[in-house]
């Protein structure tokens, strides 16, 4: 997604805006949920010698083709077959164990009311602890796309960080109740024509290093990445 990297390095004129007065990219829905991403088992290479051709192979194959479903594979008793089974068990026991990744999926549904095509969006999921409103946590994301005017898009990103770093004791005393007030905020919009809209009180330089880290690896099929 070369347009993302261009947008991140070009120095362009920025127009600040207030979403209360004009909302070029309204959030029409949002949600977050805990998610477990299961690790894939690493492949086990076969290093045992190829099994020899036993004398009963031809008869076994012929019996299978004809009618016998109970024919015993003559290779099962060979030294090579037993060695391969033992070697596979040893390799599996030595294989690096990869743990499942436990995290959170943050989603915002947006609509492009700007009248122009949007290419990059910076947004955040903001949480404030109800028992202690001063305890505010922001989970920020950057998304690359081609969102035409009037179009809608689901922005979704995975993070191992949850909605809060610290929970007040009063919140823990009421586990069944709602712990946080939450809102989704769009911080910056970059358009296909090179123009930019940016929210007041949000600074690009504050997340510049996070952006460099997030875009340091090739962009896959994901739309968004966490900052």
pLDDT tens digits along 118-158: 999 999 999 998 888 888 999 999 999 999 999 999 999 99
pLDDT for res 163? 86
C-alpha 208/C-alpha 227 separation (Å) is 9
CA dihedral of 38, 217, 220, 120, whole degrees rounded to 10 = 120
Ranges of residues in the chain with a pLDDT under 50 are 1-13, 18-20
Is 143 within 8 Å of 123 (Cβ atoms)?
A: yes
**What pLDDT score was predicted for residue 102?**
84
CB atoms within 10 A of CB 108: 26
The model carries a pTM of 0.67
Instruction: DSSP for 85-105, please give it.
Output: HHHHHHHHHHSPP-PPEEEEE
Rounded Cα distance between 136 and 131, Å, is 11
Q: Are β-strands 27-37 and 14-17 bridged in parallel, bridged antiparallel, or unpaired?
A: unpaired
Cβ neighbors of 96 (< 8 A, separation 6 or more) are: 42
- Average pLDDT over all residues of the chain: 78
Chain centroid to Cα 93, Å, comes to: 29
The H or E element spanning position 139 is strand 136-147
Domain-wise residue ranges, the chain = 2-39+102-226, 40-98
pLDDT in tens, 175-192: 567 888 999 999 999 999
DSSP code, position 80: H
Identify the DSSP state of 177.
Answer: S
Reduced to 3 states (helix: H, G, I; strand: E, B; else coil), residue 219 is coil
pLDDT computed for residue 220 by the predictor: 84
pLDDT of residue 190: 97
Direct distance between the N- and C-terminal alpha carbons of the chain, in angstroms, rounded to an integer:
17
């Amino acid at each position: 997604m070369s347009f993302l990297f261009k947008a991140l390095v070009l120095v362009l004129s920025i127009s600040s805006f207030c979403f209360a007065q004009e909302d070029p990219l309204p959030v029409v829905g949002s949600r977050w949920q805990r998610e477990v991403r299961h690790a894939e088992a690493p492949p086990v290479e076969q290093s045992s010698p190829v099994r020899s051709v036993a004398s009963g192979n031809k008869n076994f194959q012929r019996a299978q083709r004809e009618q016998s479903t109970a024919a015993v594979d003559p290779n099962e008793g060979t030294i090579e077959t037993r060695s391969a089974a033992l070697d596979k068990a040893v390799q599996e026991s030595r294989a690096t164990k990869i743990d499942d990744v436990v995290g959170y999926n943050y989603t915002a549904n947006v609509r492009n009311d700007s009248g122009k095509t949007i290419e990059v969006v910076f947004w955040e999921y903001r949480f404030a602890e109800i028992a202690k409103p001063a305890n505010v946590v922001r989970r920020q994301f950057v998304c690359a796309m081609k969102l035409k005017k009037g179009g809608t898009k689901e922005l979704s990103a995975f993070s191992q960080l949850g909605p809060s770093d610290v929970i007040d004791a009063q919140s823990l005393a009421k586990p069944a109740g709602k712990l946080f007030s939450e809102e989704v905020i769009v911080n910056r919009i970059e358009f296909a024509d090179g123009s930019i809209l940016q929210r007041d009180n949000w600074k690009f330089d504050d997340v510049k290093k996070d952006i460099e880290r997030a875009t340091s690896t090739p962009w896959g099929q994901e739309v968004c990445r966490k900052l």
